[in-house]
Structure 1
Amino acid sequence: MTAHEPVSVSAAADAVAEQAMAWFVRLRAETVTPAEREDFQRWYRADPAHRRAYAQTAAFWDDAEFGWVLADAASGSAPGRRPRVWRGVPAMAAAACLIGFIAGYRPTLDCWRADYCTGVGEIKSFRLGDGSEVTLNSASAISVNVQNGLRQVELHRGEAFFDVQRDPQRPFQVGGRYSTVRVLGTRFAVREDRAETSVSVASGLVAVGRPEADPALLQAGDSISVTAHRSGDIQRNPAGGTAAWLKGYAAFENVTLAEVVAELGRYRRGTLLVRDAELRELKISGRFDIRDTDKALESLQQTLPIRVTRLTPWLVLIGKGAQG
């Protein structure tokens, strides 16, 4: 056995898991063709690893309709009937998982147009031309212009923490989707989410504005969220809560499991999926290691009535545990 063999075996297993998920989703589409079903049968019969991967994928969704697929493929019989459409949200969730997996590994336009960019799970610091320092959180991208009397940063996606060199002649400006942040010299974080831009201040004074509105003035320990339509109220952060990710953890105070899982998902490739609506509303407080999200998920499993299952290398399901 060579030193590289385990990597090759792991890569092959990942590829089979990906194929199984792709077939799993495709067979439940209304547009699936008889030819595609026959192709699946050939793939399924070709290798015991294929059968195991597909069975694992199907079993976790607890749907009796999966049986016809396995029976047809195992017997080699021609498909005798059109597959029924998979009921409700699970089919949509499975498709979303597959799309999310593909998108997670595809280079993005944000990175192509950015001056600085980080990958999923990567946190990295950069020194700008004016001496200021910016630290990018996981999957983040910025463009920078600190020449010709300007100090401008555009946050394309993700989250960044700025330690700005003071220069009264050149205010430092960070543009987001919904807000513009202006400072002279301070330490603060800006985060871009789909529906809002959030700003948190570690030290100094920060002005957070949006079009046609007076800017909000934030001091150390303050935070604010800005949407396309309004600026929220200024909030006080818990002690040490500003950019906790710089220290390698995520801190939560009485938030839902859905929110915790969404945050942990920022630091790993693939999809974390909570299957049960009741579980998504469980309330959680605590600190979790973002450098080892598997460890964080194990900690959740030990303290909550949930079961964490690694279905494929890029899909983790969270369902009810023995006590759930």
Structure 2
Amino acid sequence: MTENQSSPDSDNPDTISEQAMAWFVRLRAESVAVDERRLFQIWHQADPAHRQAYAEISAFWEDADFRATLDTATLSPQFSPRNNPPKNLRRRSGIRPDAKLLLAAAASLIIAAIVYQPALSCWRADYCTTVGEIKTVQLSDGSQVTLNSGTALNVNMRNGQRHVQLDRGEAFFDVQPDPQHPFQVDGRYSNTRVLGTRFVVREDADNDIISVVSGVVEVSRDRQNPATLKVNDSIAVDARHQSEVSHQPTGNATAWLKGSASFDNAPLKAVIAEIGRYRRGSLIIRNQALQDLKVSGRFDIRDTDKTLESLQQTLPIRIYRLTPWLVVIA
């Protein structure tokens, strides 16, 4: 950090919270230089909002219930840091090692969520959406594609081709019929071929899921032994095989088009993972018992804070907000 704290975003509450979190982490390291402490005092005294943000984080951290939660808290897989914690985050009086690791992870997640993720999502993509954004684009052949949150795709409509590469995320395709030029969508593992229909392709961590809303599509892995899907059919394709075709209403698969997410007796960890797709930062569940709580219902993905409050009202859980980007469920 530098003495010059002024920037176009310095008055933004989210930016101030990010700065306060970074200072909170740094000041609890084993070695903090005198100059760093002086810079912190300059930042701390520069604005009442700085002092309030730092006081809120400090007070929250000392909350007994929250500290108890951290004893067993684990980051969900999609947010877990891949690197080992720095050596200067070893145990120091007053702060548990796992607590320091969580703080360091949170600070890293803030930077990644705010600075890097939008750039990575849109890098070399013809169309993309940032976290929480849903938009529809029209292709040159008249087909329409609706991109869900955090989605990136590339399109090739040259020389009679109709080819889309889904690089990440989820998209709903409303394909203009053209028997002479099949429409193809390639996901991480799947290849989907259609003539004219409506369907969803979703990339999860371990597989692609294709769900048909109308018409007929062919889905294969490596373009071998395609399976034929009709209305309300779904299939999952991973690195090794493709599942059997399942038949069920596609309402849950397309609920996001209307700004909601639907669950039927789903584990809380799956619900939280889905909600996390529409907000920046990290959602932490305390332990396995809470992760396996069953959830049914339809929730608003356009207001994830409201959704979290709804879960708190209907389940034996409490919601802790450390910053706009770090939420603990205990």
Q: Is the 8 A contact 1:20 1:57 kept in 2?
A: no
Aligned: 1:56 with 2:81: no
Q: Which amino acid aligns with 2:108?
A: I
- C-alpha distance 36-157 of structure 1, shift in aligned 2 (>3 A): farther
Percent sequence identity is: 52
Q: Deviations over 1:259-296 (max 9, x none)?
A: 11110111112222222321111011111011111111
1:82 and 1:23 mapped to 2: Cα distance? 18
Aligned: 1:135 with 2:135: no
Q: Which amino acid aligns with 1:99?
A: S
- C-alpha distance 284-167 of structure 1, shift in aligned 2 (>3 A): same
Aligned: 1:146 with 2:163: no
Q: Which amino acid aligns with 2:323?
A: T
- C-alpha distance 152-311 of structure 1, shift in aligned 2 (>3 A): same
1:223 and 1:36 mapped to 2: Cα distance? 58
Q: Which amino acid aligns with 1:219?
A: K
State the 1:112 CA deviation: 2.2
- Residue 162 of structure 1, aligned match among 173, 177, 180: 173
State the 1:239 CA deviation: 5.5
When structure 1 is superposed on structure 2, of 284-293 and 41-50 the one drifting more is 41-50
- Residue 184 of structure 1, aligned match among 156, 171, 195: 195
When structure 1 is superposed on structure 2, of 128-137 and 118-127 the one drifting more is 118-127
Aligned: 1:318 with 2:329: yes
- C-alpha distance 298-196 of structure 1, shift in aligned 2 (>3 A): same
Q: In the alignment, which residue of structure 2 is the partner of 1:252?
A: 263
2:200 and 2:278 mapped to 1: Cα distance? 17
1:233 and 1:41 mapped to 2: Cα distance? 63
Residues 104-143 of structure 1 correspond to what in structure 2 (within 5 A)? Answer: 104-105=113-114, 106=116, 107-143=118-154
Q: In the alignment, which residue of structure 2 is the partner of 1:286?
A: 297
Residues 69-108 of structure 1 correspond to what in structure 2 (within 5 A)? Answer: 83=92, 86-88=96-98, 91-105=100-114, 106=116, 107-108=118-119
Q: Which amino acid aligns with 2:202?
A: R
1:228 and 1:186 mapped to 2: Cα distance? 26
Q: Deviations over 1:219-260 (max 9, x none)?
A: 110111111111122222335233110111101111111111
- Residue 232 of structure 2, aligned match among 196, 207, 221: 221
Q: In the alignment, which residue of structure 2 is the partner of 1:21?
A: 21
When structure 1 is superposed on structure 2, of 230-239 and 244-253 the one drifting more is 230-239
- C-alpha distance 260-10 of structure 1, shift in aligned 2 (>3 A): farther
2:34 and 2:19 mapped to 1: Cα distance? 14
- Taking structure 2 as the reference length, the TM-score comes to 0.79
2:304 and 2:270 mapped to 1: Cα distance? 14
1:93 and 1:202 mapped to 2: Cα distance? 42
When structure 1 is superposed on structure 2, of 238-247 and 190-199 the one drifting more is 238-247
- C-alpha distance 234-87 of structure 1, shift in aligned 2 (>3 A): farther
Q: Which amino acid aligns with 1:18?
A: E
State the 1:96 CA deviation: 3.5
Q: Which is bigger in relative contact order (C-alpha 8 A, separation at least 6)?
A: 2
1:101 and 1:231 mapped to 2: Cα distance? 36
Q: Is the 8 A contact 2:26 2:32 kept in 1?
A: no
Q: Is the 8 A contact 1:101 1:270 kept in 2?
A: yes
When structure 1 is superposed on structure 2, of 238-247 and 119-128 the one drifting more is 238-247
Q: CA RMSD in A?
A: 2.9
Q: Is the 8 A contact 2:252 2:263 kept in 1?
A: no
Q: Secondary structure at the match of 2:302?
A: coil
Q: Is the 8 A contact 1:155 1:175 kept in 2?
A: yes
Unaligned segments of structure 2, at least 5 residues: 1-7, 46-50, 72-89
- Residue 276 of structure 2, aligned match among 250, 265, 268: 265
Q: Secondary structure at the match of 1:61?
A: helix
Q: Secondary structure at the match of 1:34?
A: coil
Q: Is the 8 A contact 1:139 1:157 kept in 2?
A: yes
Q: Is the 8 A contact 2:260 2:300 kept in 1?
A: yes
Q: Deviations over 1:111-159 (max 9, x none)?
A: 0211111111111101100000000001111111112110000111111
1:63 and 1:276 mapped to 2: Cα distance? 9
Q: Which amino acid aligns with 2:32?
A: A
1:94 and 1:200 mapped to 2: Cα distance? 39
Q: Which amino acid aligns with 2:21?
A: M
- C-alpha distance 261-143 of structure 1, shift in aligned 2 (>3 A): same
When structure 1 is superposed on structure 2, of 273-282 and 141-150 the one drifting more is 273-282
1:279 and 1:38 mapped to 2: Cα distance? 44
Unaligned segments of structure 1, at least 5 residues: 1-6, 66-80, 320-324
Q: Which amino acid aligns with 1:100?
A: L
Q: Secondary structure at the match of 2:306?
A: helix
Aligned: 1:274 with 2:280: no
